[in-house]
């Protein structure tokens, strides 16, 4: 509130994402342009709040720009333009992975040197679902975003998922360390996503799209983007003779936002960013509950993870780790076992 009231024009939101909906609302209500890091919420009430803010920003002509960095990277733009243009034919299946290390965090903060439940969780925010959304929503959402990009930002009809905590200990809160998800779209396209945060395991962040005319294989960090079919190579991305198609997406997302503001044509990427957030949340919920979770079920979910009011001294013990199939993980959504 102090930042917004200080006379700024643009607000950059990169705090723990549990607070993203209320920060977006405050900034939009104050008529500010917004850059919001992914994800946009950690629960469905937050999704609905952001949806309202997106529409208000459209009406008043202020920007909402997302931090899904691959959307702002030329290599991906060139690649997905071709996919959406039909070069792979009708899409049959989409695969993505985000497997990496456990990322030990916050080694200086523990129960002994934090005074309250809220301080403890804020100091170790990544490990608590209400603050981070779990790693499938906070980190692997980048890969899920590219899956939706290939489908022209259509939310899957449903998700079925597995997940759990193989290696994480009590000090790592209540999030999982691995997920495996099956998505299905209304036209029959299938999607498969795997993410893991474990040390000493095979890592990889891969994207594959299978169509009736060919296959795309991509690894974003190495800027590897290849189309192939049974006859061999169809296309390989390159940066151009002078590297003109090579860019830093983290810079471009801000360059394009500010250029649009100065031109009087503010950007609003809110619709796609909230669809990706909802899809990642749908995958997480399918794993937590063990249920086939449809888009409609997700949008109607009553589960609220983030309290309406938060203070450092409030009683707020961390929630237990979710165990699929049990009543206690279904009832908060308003669903029957």
Q: What distance in Å separates the CA atoms of residue 86 and residue 204, rounded to the nearest whole number? A: 27
Task: Please give the domain boundaries of the chain with CATH numbers for all domains.
Answer: 4-69+251-269 (3.40.50.720), 70-247+274-333 (3.30.360.10)
Token pair of 230, please?
């049974």
Q: How confident is the model at residue 112 (pLDDT cuts 50, 70, 90)?
A: confident
pLDDT tier at 65 (50, 70, 90 boundaries)?
Answer: very high
Q: What is the pLDDT of residues 117-172, one digit of tens each?
A: 999 999 999 999 999 999 999 999 999 999 999 999 999 999 999 999 999 998 89
- What CA–CA distance (Å, rounded) separates 183 from 140? 15
pLDDT band at 278 (very low <50, low <70, confident <90, very high): very high
**% of the chain residues with pLDDT over 70:** 99
pLDDT at position 220:
79
Residue 337 has pLDDT above 70, yes or no: no
pLDDT average, residue stretch 97-122: 89
Model confidence pLDDT, tens digit, residues 197-240: 999 999 999 999 999 999 999 997 778 999 999 999 999 999 99
Could you tell me where the beta strands, DSSP code E, fall in 174-303?
Answer: 178-184, 190-197, 207-211, 215-219, 224-229, 232-236, 293-294
What pLDDT does 104 receive? 79
Taking all residues of the chain, what is their mean pLDDT, rounded to a whole number?
95
171/276: higher pLDDT: 276
332, 303 in Cβ contact below 8 A? yes
- Is the preceding omega at residue 333 within 30 degrees of 0, hence cis? no
Proportion of the chain above pLDDT 90, given as a percent: 87
Give the separation between CA 47 and CA 25, rounded to whole angstroms.
11
Check whether 101 has a pLDDT greater than 90: yes
Q: Are 207 and 146 in contact (CB under 8 A)?
A: yes
Is pTM beyond 0.85? Reply is: yes
DSSP state for residue 320 in the 8-state scheme: P
Could you give the C-alpha distances from 299 to 48, 133, 157, 262, 320, in angstroms and in order? 8, 16, 12, 36, 24
């Amino acid at each position: 509130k102090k930042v917004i009231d200080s006379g700024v024009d643009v607000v950059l939101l990169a705090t723990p994402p549990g607070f993203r909906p209320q920060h977006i609302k405050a900034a939009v209500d104050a008529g500010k342009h917004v850059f919001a890091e992914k994800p946009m919420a950690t629960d469905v009430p937050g999704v609905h709040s952001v949806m309202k803010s997106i529409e208000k920003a459209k009406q008043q002509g202020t920007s909402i720009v997302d931090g899904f960095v691959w959307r702002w990277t030329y290599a991906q733009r060139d690649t997905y333009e071709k996919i959406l243009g039909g070069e792979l034919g009708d899409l049959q299946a989409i695969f993505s992975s985000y497997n990496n290390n456990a990322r030990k965090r916050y080694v200086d903060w523990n129960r002994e040197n934090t005074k309250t439940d809220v301080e403890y969780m804020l100091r170790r925010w990544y490990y608590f679902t209400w603050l981070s959304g779990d790693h499938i929503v906070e980190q692997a959402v980048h890969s899920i975003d590219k899956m939706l990009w290939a489908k022209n930002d259509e939310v899957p009809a449903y998700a079925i998922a597995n997940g759990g905590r193989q290696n994480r200990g009590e000090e790592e809160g209540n999030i999982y360390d691995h997920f495996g998800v099956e998505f299905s779209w209304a036209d029959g396209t299938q999607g498969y996503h795997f993410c893991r945060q474990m040390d000493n395991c095979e890592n990889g962040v891969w994207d594959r799209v299978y169509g009736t005319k060919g296959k795309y294989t991509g690894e974003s960090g190495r800027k590897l983007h290849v189309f192939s079919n049974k006859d061999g190579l169809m296309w390989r991305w390159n940066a151009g003779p002078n590297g003109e198609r090579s860019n830093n997406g983290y810079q471009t997302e801000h360059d394009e936002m500010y250029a649009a503001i100065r031109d009087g044509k503010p950007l609003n990427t809110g619709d796609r960013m909230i669809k990706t957030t909802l899809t990642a949340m749908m995958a997480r919920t399918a794993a937590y509950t063990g249920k086939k979770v449809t888009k409609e079920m997700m949008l109607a979910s009553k589960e609220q993870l983030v309290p309406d009011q938060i203070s450092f001294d409030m009683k707020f013990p961390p929630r237990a780790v979710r165990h699929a199939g049990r009543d206690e993980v279904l009832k908060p959504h308003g669903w029957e076992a």
